Amino acid sequence: MAKNGDTPTKRIRSRKQTQVGSGVRLSQLIPLILIFCVFIADLAVFIPLSFQNEEHALLEKREHILDMWRVASDPSEIMDIDDVISVGDRLINMKEIHGGVLFTSTGSLVGAFGITPRLTLQMVEKGTHTIRDNKGGTFLDLYLSPRETGLAQRVIVRVNLAKHLAKRDDHLKNLAISIFAAGFLAIVLATLILKFRYINPVNKLVTSLNKVARSPDEADRHLHKWKRKDELGALARACDILYRSLALVYQQGLALLRNARRRSALPILTYGADESLMEANQAALDFFGAKNLHEFRKMDQKFIFMPGNEEKERTNIADISRKKDFSEFVSVESTHGTREVYLDAVRVIQAGTDTLNGISATLFDHTEFIIKHKKLTREFKELEVERDDLKLKETELRYVLESCMTLMAHNYGPKSEEPSTERILVDRILDEWYLEAVDCGLVAGHLDHGAMPMMIGNEDAITGVFRQALLLIYARSQCTQPQLGIEAVNGDDGEVLYRVYDATSLKDMADNLFASNHISHVNWSLPFAAMRASIKRCNGKIFELGETPDERHFIKFSMPTQINQMNVAPSIEQKTA
């Protein structure tokens, strides 16, 4: 049997299954990764192309200026510097250049036209043939050597790049649009391929795993049967094998469980989601006196008496276990009468939801055990009472034996005794006897006494007088565990008068008088005879053995032994006065 009522059905179907995954986010994550990667790739392509295109455009511009200069100037027709300057002015009018300067082969400035360039001959000699000037617009200063122009002079011209830059910007814009459009198409295409080729199949695998985890009995309904040859196909086929095996094992386990429930000696009831009786094993049918399940369904299902139900209202299993599992002792009305059973009702909940699929209840009949337990408890209490009574008898017999030993010492012991000067504490004798009697259950409370004198005499005789006096009053008392007391007062001729009495309160006497089945087994005449023998050895005297009107027994006696009277009460006559 499962521990703490944890049936296999509860373990398999009622427990909330752990989800295989909280949701695959590849469909959201991969496009972001693709966008980032394509953006980086576009930048890696666009930036070098833009610089390369810029350099190529500047070279084309320089070649264009050279071509225009060659066309505008014919070396055979140019006779002097003015002709060269006129060529420059012509190019300025054609808006090909904005100005320039002319130098001789020795570096002397011989002429200028238009805007003077910032590029100097010294810069050219140092290797700088081209500079950009962004002041007042965008200009490019070019050095044209005599070898390139066919002239005898060195020429530095200034070119306006506004049109060129506008054309370049349009070209870069078109280039960027083309590159990023190609990247976007690549992203879309890659996303679609990943989504339909990998992400969707992975999501299907995860969904099927979650469904199988929630309902392992339906694992064979989630087979994939994929024919793809990659790793996902191999994983899907492995999952199919696992699902088939799991469904087979689960069905076999359920079959074994149903068989065990049918053959169980314990009554087991199964209720459906609508709280109607679905199944009852043979033990349950026999327990309720039904021939078959159909007959049992017609019977009143309210057969449970809840503990502490003073009105004896009956309820059914569905009512007490509708919101939570129930495991408790209840009374059940069966064909054998009212039985005390331990009801273990387990709610079968659909995993992942709060939907109630059914209730499985097992009844453990403890009636015979409870009857035997009550009988054993009653017998144990009787044995405890008998044990206490025997213990009390044993204690009383020890005191009776002490009385007998005192009488034997008086009758058969040595007759002549030398006077003893031994000091004896009466308080110690009284407290020792009383504490021992309290431990054995003879008396109750504490010994009620005042100051007792310290006596001088024979210790055995004095001890015997007081111990037998206490035992005598105990034997004459009609109460169970009476409380005793003793008082001492000064008498005549140096004697001390003692009075041992029953100090039980009137309330305790009314409660305990003949209420207990214990009756003292001590015959009061035996301790009385032993006391007389002991007091005779001390030359004392017994005055009275009687009882008060409220049935309190007492004994009065005197002890003429030499005593220390410092703490003794006044005489009876003085006390009475």
Q: What is the DSSP string of 130-184?
A: EEEE-TTS-EEEEEE-HHHH-SSSEEEEEEE-HHHHHHHHHHHHHHHHHHHHHHH
The highest-confidence range among 45-59, 145-159, 219-233, 432-446, by mean pLDDT, is 432-446
The answer to whether residue 526 is domain-embedded is: yes
Average pLDDT over residues 132-143: 68
Q: Are residues 174 and 45 part of one domain?
A: yes
Residue 366 is predicted with a pLDDT of 79
Q: What percent of the chain has pLDDT over 70?
A: 74
Choose one of 323, 341, 365: the last residue of a domain.
Answer: 365
Q: Is 529 left (phi over 0), alpha (psi -120 to 50) or beta?
A: alpha
Looking at residue 246, its amino acid is: L
CATH number for the domain harbouring residue 283: 3.30.450.20
Question: Is the model's pLDDT at 525 over the cut of 70?
Answer: yes
Element (H, E) at 385: helix 367-412
Residue 183: how many CB atoms within 10 A of its CB?
Answer: 21
Q: Are residues 200 and 134 part of one domain?
A: yes
List of long-range contacts for 250-253, beta carbons under 8 Å, 24+ apart: 250/12, 250/216, 250/217, 250/219, 251/217, 253/8, 253/12
Residue 564 is predicted with a pLDDT of 45
Q: Are residues 358 and 323 part of one domain?
A: yes
Q: Report how many domains make up the chain.
A: 3
Average pLDDT over residues 166-180: 72
299-344 pLDDT, tens digit each: 877 878 887 665 677 777 777 777 788 888 888 887 777 788 888 8
Q: Are residues 395 and 358 part of one domain?
A: no
Q: Are residues 284 and 391 part of one domain?
A: no
Is residue 138 within 8 Å of residue 66, measured between CB atoms?
Answer: no
Question: Is the model's pLDDT at 261 over the cut of 50?
Answer: yes
Residue 473: which residues within 8 A CB-CB, separation 6 or more?
Answer: 482, 484, 500, 501, 502, 553, 554, 555
181 to 172, 177, 187, 364: CA distances (angstroms) = 14, 6, 10, 77
Q: Are residues 333 and 397 part of one domain?
A: no
Q: Are residues 41 and 175 part of one domain?
A: yes
Question: Is the model's pLDDT at 517 over the cut of 50?
Answer: no
The answer to whether residue 308 is domain-embedded is: yes
Coil, helix or strand at residue 318 = helix
Q: Side-chain half-sphere of 212: how many Cα atoms within 13 Å? A: 25
Residue 141 is predicted with a pLDDT of 75
Question: What does the chain come to in residues?
Answer: 577
The answer to whether residue 250 is domain-embedded is: no
The first and second tokens of residue 163, run together, are 């049109």
548-564 pLDDT, tens digit each: 877 688 888 988 755 44
Q: In which domain, by residue range, is 484 found? A: 381-576
Q: Are residues 344 and 395 part of one domain?
A: no
Average pLDDT over residues 261-268: 80
Question: Is the model's pLDDT at 468 over the cut of 80?
Answer: yes
Split at pLDDT 50, 70, 90, the class of 474 is confident
The answer to whether residue 123 is domain-embedded is: yes
Q: In what order do the strands lie in the sheet with 553-559?
A: 448-449, 484-490, 496-502, 553-559, 541-547
Choose one of 336, 365, 394: the last residue of a domain.
Answer: 365
14-23 pLDDT, tens digit each: 433 444 444 4
Residue 78 is predicted with a pLDDT of 62
Which residue shows structure tokens 């081209």?
A: 130
Provide the mean pLDDT of the chain: 74
CATH number for the domain harbouring residue 447: 3.30.565.10
Question: Is the model's pLDDT at 416 over the cut of 80?
Answer: no
Residue 217 is predicted with a pLDDT of 67
Question: Is the model's pLDDT at 46 over the cut of 70?
Answer: no
Choose one of 303, 337, 365: the last residue of a domain.
Answer: 365
d(CA 542, CA 532): 7
Residue 2 is predicted with a pLDDT of 42
Q: Are residues 88 and 55 part of one domain?
A: yes
Range from 73-77, 117-121, 228-232, 539-543 carrying the lowest mean pLDDT: 73-77
The answer to whether residue 226 is domain-embedded is: no
Residue 565 is predicted with a pLDDT of 43
Split at pLDDT 50, 70, 90, the class of 72 is low
d(CA 67, CA 117): 20
Is residue 339 within 8 Å of residue 318, measured between CB atoms?
Answer: no
d(CA 204, CA 437): 87
Split at pLDDT 50, 70, 90, the class of 57 is low
Residue 47 is predicted with a pLDDT of 63
The answer to whether residue 90 is domain-embedded is: yes
Buried b (16+ CB within 10 A) or exposed e, 186-218: ebeebbeebbeebbebebebbebbbbbbbbbee
Residue 13 is predicted with a pLDDT of 41
Residue 380 is predicted with a pLDDT of 92
Q: Are residues 176 and 103 part of one domain?
A: yes
Q: Are residues 548 and 410 part of one domain?
A: yes
Considering only CA atoms, give the Rg of the chain. 62
Is residue 351 within 8 Å of residue 215, measured between CB atoms?
Answer: yes
Beta bridge partners of 456: 423
Which residue shows structure tokens 């009065």?
A: 556
The first and second tokens of residue 534, run together, are 């002991």
Average pLDDT over residues 78-99: 73
Given the DSSP bridges, would you call strands 448-449 and 423-425 parallel, antiparallel or unpaired? unpaired
Which residue shows structure tokens 């990659």?
A: 230
Question: Is the model's pLDDT at 569 over the cut of 50?
Answer: no
Q: Are residues 180 and 280 part of one domain?
A: no
Cα–Cα nearest to 10, from 321, 219, 287: 321
Range from 27-31, 294-298, 423-427, 458-462 carrying the lowest mean pLDDT: 27-31
The answer to whether residue 251 is domain-embedded is: no
The answer to whether residue 376 is domain-embedded is: no
Q: What percent of the chain has pLDDT over 90?
A: 1
d(CA 224, CA 232): 11
347-390 pLDDT, tens digit each: 777 665 667 777 888 888 877 788 888 899 999 999 988 888 88
